[in-house]
Chain A
Amino acid sequence: MIRLPFLLFFSAVLFSAGIYGVLARRNAVLVLMSIELMLNAVNVNLVAFGSFLQDAALTGQVFALFVITVAAAEVGIGLAIVILIYRNRETINVDEVNLLRW
Chain B
Amino acid sequence: MSSQEIAFVIIAGAGSLGAIRLVTSKNVVHAALYLVVALASVAAVYLILAAEFLAWVQVLIYVGAIVVLLLFSLMLTKAPIGRETLDNQQRGMALLVAVGILGGLVYLFQDAFGASSELNPQATRTVDVGVSIFRDFVLPFEVVSVLLLAALVGAVVIARKDEWAEQTGRGADLGARGGTERAG
Contact = CB atoms under 8 A, between A and B. Distances in A.
Interface in B11-40: 12, 15-16, 19-20, 22-23, 28, 31-32, 35, 38-39
Interface of B is mostly: helix
B119 A44 contact: no
B79 to A, nearest CB: 8
A21 B91 CA distance: 9
Contacts of A51: 49-51, 119, 121-122
Interface in A1-37: 1-10, 12-21, 23-27, 29-30, 32-34, 36-37
Interface in B69-94: 69-70, 72-74, 76-78, 80, 85-88, 90-91, 93-94
A1 B73 contact: no
A89 to B, nearest CB: 6
A73 B147 contact: yes
Contacts of A82: 73, 77
B73 A29 contact: yes
**Which 5 pairs show the lowest CB-CB distances between chains A and B?**
A88-B178, A23-B94, A73-B151, A21-B23, A20-B98
Interface of A: 1-10, 12-21, 23-27, 29-30, 32-34, 36-37, 40, 43-44, 47-48, 51-52, 54, 57-59, 61-62, 64-66, 68-77, 79-93, 95, 99
B121 A2 contact: yes
B22 A33 contact: yes
Contacts of A57: 132, 136
B181 interface: yes
Contacts of B99: 16
Nearest to B42: A40
A29 B137 contact: no
A58 B129 contact: yes
Contacts of B169: none
17 contacts: A2-B8, A5-B114, A7-B45, A12-B106, A13-B12, A18-B23, A30-B23, A36-B39, A43-B42, A43-B58, A57-B132, A61-B53, A73-B147, A76-B151, A80-B154, A83-B73, A88-B177
